[in-house]
Amino acid sequence: MNSILANYHTHNFFCDGKEAPLAYVKKAIELGFKALGFSSHAPVLFENDYSIPEEKFQDYCREIEHLKALYINQIDLFLGLEADFIPNKTHDFSYFRKACPLDYIIGSVHLVANPISNEIWFIDGGLQEKWDKGLELVFGGDIKAGVKAFYYQTNQMIEEQKPEILGHFDKIKMHNKNRFFTQEEPWYQQLVKESLQLIKEKGLVLEINTRGLYKGRCKELFPSIPIIQKAQEMGIPLMLNTDAHHPDELLGYYSEALNLIQKAGIKALWHFSKKGWFSIPLY
């Protein structure tokens, strides 16, 4: 397979990841990576146990900058963030860009706000019961309203916050497991289509994320293969990430995903470098 090893979406102990950034660098060098990107969960404006605490944000930036310089001859390291977007509950992404010399921001929606009540539905994590309970409490069990809010919030993030990368595009499906809707339903496909059009228009890179598969939470990639194919048809750049929360997850389902997408007709993957984005054909 003609590809280079790299991963631009990782979490370390500054947020909810398991080890120090250095452990990821060492592992990535051992595995023969060309590049490694750090993307801890950006600080948010509410209490939580997953993001970088506000007071640790500068330490995070300094630590990654330090490692970048230290390993300059061995691996390309990048300082990124995975930033949440919830209207009125998260920082503007420009706040992070001003505070820290970021290489990129991955914009991801993990918490869906009900646009009327402002209550929050947590759609990530390992517990299906929590997803079900949130749907009931926040959207009164109305799956269409909940899923629409997820994609509208994604669209608003793309338009207003301008992340470079869109993280795990269809994570909303993770705990659905075909119980409340199927991905073939026209209303769902319409939402996907509208968001893809916006991604194309605003020039974002769409991430293919393997975490659901190696964690056993989802039987598909984020996004699903038909969405990846559609994105390619539309000329949207695609990248592959494992969303590692531990150094041992740096290649989680990576080669399997490469095979899967190649079989599905995906022709190239995009990578980030010190000179910017470039693509590598898959063959």
Residues that bind Zn ion (CB under 5 A): 82, 108, 243
Return the number of the residue (82 or 170) whose C-beta is nearest Zn ion: 82
Q: Which single residue is written with the structure tokens 């060098």?
A: 29
Return the number of the residue (76 or 82) whose C-beta is nearest Zn ion: 82
Nearest to 84 by CA among 126, 119, 43: 43
Q: How far is the CB of 81 from Zn ion (least distance, A)?
A: 10
CB 212 within 8 A of CB 221: yes
Q: How far is the CB of 203 from Zn ion (least distance, A)?
A: 21
The encoded tokens of residue 203 equal 């020039």
Extended strands (E) in the chain: 6-7, 35-41, 76-84, 104-108, 111-113, 120-122, 165-166, 205-209, 238-241, 268-273, 276-281
CB 205 within 8 A of CB 238: yes
Largest CA distance in the chain: 55
Q: How far is the CB of 212 from Zn ion (least distance, A)?
A: 11
Q: How far is the CB of 39 from Zn ion (least distance, A)?
A: 6
Return the number of the residue (90 or 108) whose C-beta is nearest Zn ion: 108
CB 221 within 8 A of CB 186: no
Q: How far is the CB of 282 from Zn ion (least distance, A)?
A: 23
Return the number of the residue (186 or 216) whose C-beta is nearest Zn ion: 216
Return the number of the residue (174 or 231) whose C-beta is nearest Zn ion: 174
Return the number of the residue (82 or 103) whose C-beta is nearest Zn ion: 82
- What does the alpha-carbon distance between residue 141 and residue 134 come to, in Å, rounded to a whole number? 8
Q: How far is the CB of 108 from Zn ion (least distance, A)?
A: 4
- What does the alpha-carbon distance between residue 203 and residue 205 come to, in Å, rounded to a whole number? 7
Return the number of the residue (76 or 243) whose C-beta is nearest Zn ion: 243
CB 181 within 8 A of CB 143: yes
Q: How far is the CB of 133 from Zn ion (least distance, A)?
A: 20
Extended strands (E) in 109-194: 111-113, 120-122, 165-166
